[in-house]
Amino acid sequence: MQRRFMIRLVAALGAASLIAPLAAHADEAIKVGVTGGPHEQVMEVVKGVAAKNGLNIKIIEFSDYVQPNAALAGGDLDANSYQHAPYLDAQVKDRGYKLIKIADTVTFPMGIYSKKIKSLAELKPGARIAVPNDPTNGGRALLLLQSQGLIKLRADAGLKATPLDIVENPRKLKIVELDAAQIPRSLDDVDAAAINTNFAMQAGLKPKQDAIAIEDPKGPYVNILAIREADRNKPWVAKLVAAYHSPEVKRYIETTFGGAVITSW
């Protein structure tokens, strides 16, 4: 009897040793990178919804646009939520990242802000306007300036327009290219600035109240969830998308941001 007991005990311990790693893996959190501000706030709500469905999320906050994709490509993140599709497309092309979009999230209409003027009509000849220095957000800012009649770009400039694509600049505006995250701190040094909404809100700016011009929210700049291409069929991916696209998250966005952040699903 003692021998049979020992055999059963060894078998039970062996089974437990197999089950324990599986349980640990099931409880392991996926790491999702975000930028500070609305993306981080929304992901906190997503985290709560996902937890109810057995998906644990660890949120990693970044202060710029470059590192979240580098971290995702390098395996330090499982997903990120901070960028629009044209930016991801540019990163994939320029850096060779094997990253893909898995879902649309929200839109942050870019705005033009100023501490010196109340309307674009007040811009004087030679005024300095700050725009993001990365290709996609810089092009986005120039397209916004064009939509306001301040400049004209080459017809084939597309979404990656640069200051070199400006063909008409009647007020001889000076385009100052800066890191997107730094632009709100530079408002005292320029006459106006095109600022991404997440960075504007982090700086205490309210897009609907403070922007002197704002982008059409139905443009191509919808934000996305991104993952590594190799992970597309992993079970947690569908759970992450379902949590983000939940009624709880949609309600939070609509009641929290006063129209400055718009759901895209």
Residues 202 and 188 in one domain: yes
Residue 46: enclosing H or E segment and its boundaries?
helix 38-52
Q: Which amino acid is at 19?
A: I
**Residue whose C-alpha is closest to residue 174's, from 207, 210, 128, 139:** 128
68-114: pLDDT as tens digits = 999 999 999 999 999 999 999 999 999 999 999 999 999 988 999 99
Residues 6 and 103 in one domain: yes
Residues 131 and 52 in one domain: no
**Domain count for the chain:** 2
- Flag whether the pTM goes above 0.75: no
Residues 168 and 248 in one domain: no
Q: Which CATH number belongs to the domain containing residue 165 in this structure?
A: 3.40.190.10
Residues 225 and 201 in one domain: no
Residues 165 and 255 in one domain: no
Across 63-140, where does the E strand assignment appear?
79-84, 99-107, 111-113, 128-132
Residues 80 and 177 in one domain: no
Whether the predicted pLDDT of 191 surpasses 70: yes
Q: How confident is the model at residue 28 (pLDDT cuts 50, 70, 90)?
A: confident
Residues 185 and 57 in one domain: no
Q: How confident is the model at residue 259 (pLDDT cuts 50, 70, 90)?
A: confident
Number of H helices, E strands in the chain: 9, 13
Residues 98 and 132 in one domain: no
pLDDT of residue 4: 53
108-166: pLDDT as tens digits = 889 999 999 999 999 999 999 999 999 889 999 999 999 999 999 999 999 989 999 99
Give the domain range for residue 82.
2-108+220-263
Residues 78 and 138 in one domain: no
**Residue whose C-alpha is closest to residue 130's, from 87, 51, 186:** 186
